[in-house]
Amino acid sequence: MTEILSIKNASKMRGKQLALDGVSLALAPGERVALLGHNGAGKSTLMKLVLGLTPLSNGHISVAGAAPGTNAARLATAFLPEAVSFHKSLTGRDQLSLFARLAGVGTAPVVGLLERVGLADAADRKIGTYSKGMRQRLGLAQVLLGKPALALLDEPTSGLDPISRLELYAIIDELAEQGTAVLVASHALTEVEARTDRIAILRKGRLVADDTLASLSQRAGLPTKLRIRARNGQADRIAADTGGRRINGASVELSCAPERKMAALRRFAAMADAVEDIEMTPPRLEDLYRHYAQEDGA
């Protein structure tokens, strides 16, 4: 499948400091990739390189086959920064109409896009009266203009209420369905866990993970947590037999390696006289992020 975004061995020096070190990453049409990393890990630097706002020190980047910063790359790319900034004296309708004309798509889609992001009632209000969340939604409407080949979203849920966050990810799904490759830089791990196809993690300028959540979990080998709810008076017996930790007086918690999960479940199934219920919690994205972003070595 043709790559919309191709980053190969990208490095960036800032003075004597290496901000990005040999990063390679690719996005195919319709792919949703979460870009994670601590502050200073290189997420914003990578996006600036893709946008052509700062030059590479080494490596190669192409956007829909064009070099970053060229007219072709700009037409193919939509960008939503964490802190959007618009002309405060313009109305939402005027600002989006201006962007539509600059994008060469005409103003016909403007009304529908304002409705799609929940700004129809505020379309003719000046942006200076908008809340941060409303400005963020106007920025999202700009992203939707012209069906971009690549969408770069930097902390897109910043300032949004819970309902607006859900709506934003529904729009991201729509972008992906129409073939847009979406790169989402975010600290909201629980949000991106179920709404992206791949996870890419930067640590100190280096890409330390790039795969599906399931594959990263398997590679990390993090334990699965089991909580066994005991029948009356059986918690001590279960804890003694399994080496688990008794909690809440009636339950036992323990962890097991991924390859031992089924064996553990069979063992507890054989203790039906003592076990009331079993809850199984696999590693979450927070656990994987902590593993890949903080461990020593590559």
Walk along the chain (298 residues) and give the pLDDT tens digit of each residue.
Answer: 489 999 999 999 988 889 999 999 999 999 999 999 998 899 999 999 999 999 999 999 999 999 999 999 998 999 998 888 899 999 999 999 999 998 888 889 999 999 999 999 999 999 999 988 899 889 989 998 888 999 999 988 877 888 888 888 888 898 999 999 999 998 888 888 888 999 999 999 999 999 998 889 888 888 889 998 888 888 888 888 888 888 887 899 988 887 888 888 888 888 888 888 888 888 888 989 989 987 554 3
Decide: 25 and 71 in contact? Cβ < 8 Å. no
The pLDDT, as a whole number, for residue 258 is 79
Residue in this structure with the two tokens 């866990």, named with its chain if needed:
193
Closest CA to 34 of 218, 182, 256: 182
Which ranges in the chain are annotated with CATH 3.30.70? 223-282
Give the side-chain half-sphere CA count within 13 A for 222.
Answer: 20
What is the Cα–Cα distance from 213 to 50, expressed in whole angstroms? 24
The pLDDT, as a whole number, for residue 295 is 55
Report the top-level CATH class of 5-218: alpha beta
Compute the CA torsion angle 187, 192, 152, 297 (nearest 10 deg).
60
Helices (H), the chain: 43-51, 71-76, 92-103, 110-116, 132-144, 162-177, 189-193, 213-220, 235-242, 261-269, 285-294
CATH code reported for the domain at 223-282:
3.30.70
Q: For residue 231, give the amino acid letter.
A: R
Closest CA to 286 of 220, 205, 206, 197: 220
Q: For residue 116, give the amino acid letter.
A: R
Decide: 233 and 250 in contact? Cβ < 8 Å. no
Supply angle C-alpha 88, 52, 170, rounded to 5: 60
Which ranges in the chain are annotated with CATH 3.40.50.300? 5-218
The pLDDT, as a whole number, for residue 19 is 93
The pLDDT, as a whole number, for residue 298 is 39
Strand, helix or coil for residue 57: coil
* Residue 66 CA from chain centroid, whole number: 25
DSSP-derived secondary structure letter, 89: T
The pLDDT, as a whole number, for residue 133 is 85
Decide: 286 and 225 in contact? Cβ < 8 Å. no
What is the Cα–Cα distance from 228 to 277, expressed in whole angstroms? 6
What is the Cα–Cα distance from 225 to 41, expressed in whole angstroms? 30
